[in-house]
Structure 1
Amino acid sequence: MTDNNHRESRTALAALLLLALTACGNDSPDSGSSEQQQPPRVTVSGIELQAVDVREQYAGRARGAREVEVRPRIEGILETRAYTEGAMVEQGETLFRIDPEPFEAAVDSAEAQLQNARANLRQAERDWERVQSLYADDAISTRERDAAQSAVELARADVALARAGLRTAEIELGYTTVEAPLDGVTSLEALPEGSLVGPGDLLTTVTQLNPIHVRFALPERDALARREARRAMTAGADDDVDSERRAVLILPDGERYEREGQLDFTNASIDPDTGTVRARAVFPNPDQRLTPGLFVRVELRTATLEDVAVISEAAVTSDQDGPAVYTVNDDDQVVLTSVELGPVVDAGQVIESGLGDGDRVVVSGLSGLRDGIDVEVQDADSGEDD
């Protein structure tokens, strides 16, 4: 191929490339005519200031309302156990019997001593009547009269002493029957039949299950909050005070116990080692569903916040000043609003300040939001666009 032919080929190729570039330039869109970007869509929730109860849960363990150790008051041979271990017993029901024979003999002896004392008293009274007549006739001396009178007084004292001895013997005979001190469930026997027992030896334990107590610890800040609430309610209605003491029990599986309880004790001082205050709540337990040792949680109202907003926790973001939320103004523009956070309650995050009635808070679609941009608003309650 000649040089002329090469030059012609290069010239034609250059022309084709120039034509192609020109066509591409004519097809590209003009930047000034680009379609405007659509505003982001957000979901908002209207704010309504309200009073909110702050409730907290505390771990605790159930205990019998009363746990009484059953012990004998006398010494003797343990003859019989009259109850089934682990069974419910009623107050006054017989639990144990101690061999009564030595105590029955002691009662018989005391009765005989009383009869003897009474006989001596009658004899002394008869002697006194004779001495009085003789003294009136100046037949005996004053000393003899006084001796007869003293004999009567001593005989009366002997009767009183014998009567007290009989009463003591009868009481000890009654102690040979050991009874349940209260309604409750029994534990294992501590000593078997045939054992020699003495005063103070542990025989068994009876635990009262209805009502049942739950002991737990209040953190210092919650204990102080409750005390302030009680002070504020001092001048209020009794119903408010009762409401402030109500307690809810959460069972180990998360279920709420069907019967409401009451906080009946908080310690007056704070434990310096743990920074907590000991507390106790009482719950009715007529069907013995709750057993001592059960791990549970107690829910209490620790405070009531007035004129606060409650929003979704997901709506909370932050700026350089701290916690903030995005609100939407009347022009459907986003405003980054600083807020003061309160506690988290069942309904959501409490906002103590920064929001007012009627404010619209962005609860969904926060990604990419900036202060001042326009948004397409959808109401969280209606599910429809404004």
Structure 2
Amino acid sequence: MRAIVSGLAACLLLGACSGEPEVPAPPPVQVRTITVAPQEIPNVVELPGRVEPVRVAEVRARVTGIVQERLYQEGSDVRQGQPLFRIDPRELRAASAQTQAALARAQATATNARAVVERYRPLVAENAISGQEFDAALAASREAQASVAQIRAQLDAAQLQLGYTTVRAPISGRAGRAEITEGALVSQAEGTLMTRIEQISPVYVSFAQAASEVLQLRRAVAEGTVKLDANDRVEVRLTFSDGTAYPVPGFIDFLAFSVDQQTGTVELRAEFPNPQALLLPGEFVRAQIFAGEVRRGLTVPQRAVSLTEEGGTVFVVDGEGMAAIRPVKLGALVGGNWIVESGLKAGDRVIVSNLQKIRPGVPVQIANTPTGRRPAAAPTGQGQTQSAGGAR
């Protein structure tokens, strides 16, 4: 009997040893989270823009002649009134001298006619000459004076034309390349283009915003979801194509009150100081327009967001203590925080650490849960409710 029991126990023990051991559950990943909470955040609109000079002057020929000399260096800064070209002045100088001689002759004739009138005046009083003769002398004197005035005007015009042989800068700015060379014939009638001058300090940056977004912002302001301050300025910040930020902010200074029929957009323009000429006319930049603040907006730290072609994703802690992936629609990046337009709600716990160790469905253990903080306050310009995009 003992042998049977011992054999049975041995078989049971052998069967137990041949089974696979149970795999222990992985330990939860230690993570840090923030709790998303509504707060006032900047209402930021991102738009592409193009740099434009504040003033552009086309330097054209105002007289006909041969260009003798270029007096400026192409691409250099010039001041208003600075000589740029010299056109051969000899023909116009001769015409001016001819007109000067005609004026001298007319002045002599007028002096003689005036002397005749003075001689006739006492004689007509004594009836030594007829009144008709005196009237004729008086008319001749007036005609001579009118001729003097006419030729003097012709001389002024001739001297003005002579002055145009030195082509001067109409504004201060940066002069472009010369469109003509020495020896070229320029024409007054055709207004031959000689060069261009662009004033690039300050500069304008122009944008086009969808009319629907302008309407959306107006409604948000009317409903109170977007708050504008009272300084009557909307601040704009620029980013170059290589991702670097332009250090000086600008402000919206123009808003069109009509919609482009072809594009359905409204034109906006901001003015920027450009003391170092970093902004060049024709350059495309990315702009962030700060149009007030959203009263109950949501943000998450930049480190918590993974960017995809469709937008962004974040990991949140679900009700069972597991990591869950959540797609989000992102707005602007302000102060190291992404503005979240949709995909999250107040109270969601967003994971901000150990993101490389977690996957959807992995259990997590929250180390601490500080509440969400407001992004670093970027200066916000307000005013002009039509000048920025939809409420965030």
- TM-score interval (norm. to shorter): 0.7 to 0.9
SS in 2 for 1:241: coil
Task: Report how far residue 293 of structure 1 moved.
Answer: 2.7
C-alpha separation between the residues in 1 aligned to 2:81 and 2:219? 44
C-alpha separation between the residues in 1 aligned to 2:77 and 2:130? 72
Among 333, 337, 351, the alignment partner of 1:363 is 351
Matched, 1:253 2:242: yes
Among 214, 218, 224, the alignment partner of 2:205 is 214
Under a length normalisation based on structure 2, what TM-score does the superposition of the two structures give? Answer: 0.72
C-alpha separation between the residues in 2 aligned to 1:117 and 1:295? 63
CA separation of 1:60 and 1:87: change in aligned 2, threshold 3 A: same
Task: Report how far residue 326 of structure 1 moved.
Answer: 6.9
Task: Report how far residue 22 of structure 1 moved.
Answer: 5.9
Post-superposition CA distance 1:316-348 (Å, at most 9, x none): 9xxxxxxx997899xx999x9xxx988454323
Structure 1 residue identity aligned to 2:249: E
Alpha carbons 2:229, 2:292 under 8 Å: kept: no
C-alpha separation between the residues in 2 aligned to 1:352 and 1:308? 10
C-alpha separation between the residues in 1 aligned to 2:83 and 2:197? 12
C-alpha separation between the residues in 1 aligned to 2:332 and 2:150? 74
2:338 aligned partner? 348
CA separation of 1:228 and 1:122: change in aligned 2, threshold 3 A: farther
Alpha carbons 2:45, 2:332 under 8 Å: kept: no
C-alpha separation between the residues in 2 aligned to 1:202 and 1:215? 27
Q: What percentage of residue pairs aligned between the two structures are identical?
A: 32
Pick the structure with greater CA Rg: 1
Count of residues paired in the alignment: 346
Superposed, 1:221-260 pairs within 5 Å as 221-224=212-215, 237=230, 240-242=231-233, 244=234, 246-260=235-249
Task: Report how far residue 297 of structure 1 moved.
Answer: 1.4
C-alpha separation between the residues in 2 aligned to 1:196 and 1:308? 66
Among 124, 149, 155, the alignment partner of 1:160 is 149
2:135 aligned partner? 146
SS in 2 for 1:112: helix
Structure 2 residue identity aligned to 1:348: W
1:80 aligned partner? 69
C-alpha separation between the residues in 2 aligned to 1:227 and 1:61? 25
CA RMSD of aligned residues (A): 4.3
Where structure 1 has 5 or more consecutive residues not aligned to the other structure, the ranges are 1-10, 28-34, 317-323
SS in 2 for 1:203: strand
Under a length normalisation based on structure 1, what TM-score does the superposition of the two structures give? Answer: 0.73
1:176 aligned partner? 165
Task: Report how far residue 270 of structure 1 moved.
Answer: 2.3
Task: Report how far residue 161 of structure 1 moved.
Answer: 0.6
Structure 2 residue identity aligned to 1:170: Q
Alpha carbons 1:189, 1:204 under 8 Å: kept: yes
Post-superposition CA distance 1:229-270 (Å, at most 9, x none): 899999963xx212x2x2112112211112222222232222
C-alpha separation between the residues in 2 aligned to 1:256 and 1:63? 18
Specify which structure has the higher proportion of helix: 1
C-alpha separation between the residues in 2 aligned to 1:293 and 1:36? 61
Matched, 1:203 2:194: yes
Superposed, 1:298-309 pairs within 5 Å as 298-309=287-298
Matched, 1:120 2:138: no
Alpha carbons 2:173, 2:197 under 8 Å: kept: yes
